[in-house]
Amino acid sequence: MPELPDITAYISALEPRIVGQPLVRARLASVFLLRTVQPPITDLEGRTVRELRRIGKRIAIGVDGDLWLVLHLMIAGRLHWRPAGAKLSGRQNLAAFDFPNGSLVLTEAGTKRRASLHVLSGEEALRAIDPGGIDVFASDFSLFRATLSAENRTLKRALTDPRLLSGIGNAYSDEILHAAQLSPIAQTHKLQPQEWERLFDATRNTLRLWMDRLRAEASAGFPEKVTAFRKGMAVHGRYGEPCPRCGETILRIRYADNETNYCARCQTRGKVLADRGLSRLLGSDWPRTLEELEALTRR
């Protein structure tokens, strides 16, 4: 799922292309994409784009008359900038928004249709779809700590809860926790003051690093290859590869459609975290330390 750095890159690429331009036409290839009835999407046509905003992991495009086109890409949705009037052929093409200088096309890979489009009127309607998470760059350390420690949760869950923090998902939470050298299953109520400071700094620094990188890429061309697995990431998507800090093999916890990647040496003091599926299968044979894991691998 595109997260804060990716959404920022999309907005950086779209602003010089569509702000000040009229939305000539909105075309939908999938009727299931549009989740609102009023105002009708045709009300957007002919109006000039005035502003783009990020609302959590959503992109909001504001046009004259305080109307908003709000896109949520979910897991597999992606945006593309194509020649004006681009055809919507193929199952992956869900919508096109035509401007005089080009068409913004929304695609979604796979068979599950999770991406969504809302047409909203006014600031109050925008606030209603905002999950409410704080912007880590607009908050100080005290607010950050108070927000994440309001309830006792694992760090992984706290970082990715959109009601707590805005725009962070599975990929960048892995990178943040590795940078902070903290376990994804550490409890917020058990963190020491210095660990909170490391987490706060790592969250801001990791997001800023990737925002700067992706915006630089977007300045050279529209970000056509947004992915959760990027070259240069420390742990996310690097299961089985060496940790860039200590050289230990990156491990993972798998659950549902996601997995958490981490370095046991750097983050869990050598403890191997239980993978739900394999730990149930292996029972007491599940390795608890890196040494036990290494011995199991040699058998």
DSSP state of 125: H
Evaluate if residue 239 carries a pLDDT over 60.
Answer: yes
Are residues 166 and 243 located together in one domain of the fold? yes
- 136 belongs to a structural domain: no
159 and 286 both lie in a single domain: yes
Domain boundary among 61, 95, 129: 129
In a domain, 135, yes or no: no
Q: What is the mean pLDDT of the chain?
A: 90
- Cα–Cα distance measured from residue 160 to residue 106, given in angstroms and rounded to the nearest whole number: 25
Q: Is the pLDDT of residue 228 over 90?
A: no
Q: How far apart are the C-alpha atoms of 144 and 289, rounded to whole Å?
A: 32
Confirm whether pTM is higher than 0.85: yes
The boundaries of the domain holding residue 202 are 141-298
Question: Nearest CA to 57 among 74, 45, 44?
Answer: 74
**pLDDT tens by residue, 173-187:** 999 999 999 999 999
Residue 163 CB contacts under 8 Å (≥ 6 apart), including other chains: 131, 132, 133
Of 84, 109, 129, which marks where a domain is finished?
A: 129
Same domain, 85 and 194: no
In total, how many domains does the chain have? 2
**Whether pLDDT at 279 is above 60:** no
Q: Establish if 86 belongs to a structural domain.
A: yes
125: domain CATH number is 3.20.190.10
Per residue in 18-75, pLDDT tens? 999 999 999 999 888 999 999 999 999 999 999 999 999 999 999 999 999 999 999 8
Q: Which pLDDT belongs to residue 138?
A: 96
- Do 288 and 145 lie in one domain? The reply is yes
In this structure, is residue 39 part of a structural domain?
Answer: yes
Closest Cα to residue 166, out of 117, 121, 203?
Answer: 203
- Residue at which a domain ends, from 129, 153, 185: 129
Identify the pLDDT of residue 256: 62
Kindly report which listed range (134-143, 169-178, 196-205, 217-226) carries the lowest average pLDDT score.
217-226
Is the same domain home to 241 and 113? Answer: no
Query: Do 108 and 205 fall within a single domain?
Result: no
Q: Would residue 9 count as lying in a domain? A: yes
3-state secondary structure of 163: coil
Q: Report the Cα–Cα distance between both ends of the chain, in Å, rounded.
A: 38
- What 80-84 contacts at long range (C-beta under 8 Å, 24+ apart), as own/partner pairs, is 80/104, 80/105, 80/106, 80/107, 80/222, 80/224, 81/13, 81/14, 81/17, 81/105, 81/222, 81/224
| Cβ 97 vs Cβ 26: under 8 Å | yes
Give yes or no for residue 295 having a pLDDT over 80. Answer: no
pLDDT of residue 113: 83
CATH number of residue 196's parent domain: 1.10.8.50
Rounded Cα gap, residues 250 and 230, in angstroms: 15
Check whether residue 162 and residue 120 sit in a common domain. no
180 phi/psi in degrees, rounded to 5: -85, -10
Query: What are the pLDDT digits (tens) for 112-148?
Result: 888 999 999 999 999 999 999 999 999 999 999 999 9
Is the domain of 68 the same as that of 23?
yes
pLDDT at 30: 84
The answer as to whether 200 is a domain residue is: yes
